[in-house]
Amino acid sequence: MIPQHVLDRVVDLALAEDLEGGDLTTEATVAADARGIGRVVARSALVFAGGAVLARVFYRVDPGVRVEQRIADGELAEPGAVLMVVEGATRSLLIAERTALNFVQRMSGIATLARRFVDALPAGSTTRVTDTRKTTPGLRALERYAVRAGGAHNHRNDLGAAVLIKDNHIEAAGGVRPALARARARAPHTSRLEIEVESLDMLDEALAAGADVVMLDNFAPEALDEAIARARGRAVVEVSGGVGLARIAELAGRGVDVISVGALTHSAPSADIALDLERLV
Residues labelled as active-site residues? 98, 134, 166, 196, 217
Q: Long-range contact list for 12-15, CB < 8 A, 24+ apart? A: 12/60, 13/138, 14/57, 14/99, 14/102, 14/103, 15/57, 15/60, 15/61, 15/96, 15/99
SS (H, E, C) 12-81: HHHHHHHHCCCCHHHHHHCCCCCEEEEEEEECCCEECCCHHHHHHHHHHHCCCCEEEECCCCCCEECCCC
Helix/strand/coil for 199? coil
User: Which of 280, 279, 278, 277 is closest to 100 using CA atoms?
Assistant: 277
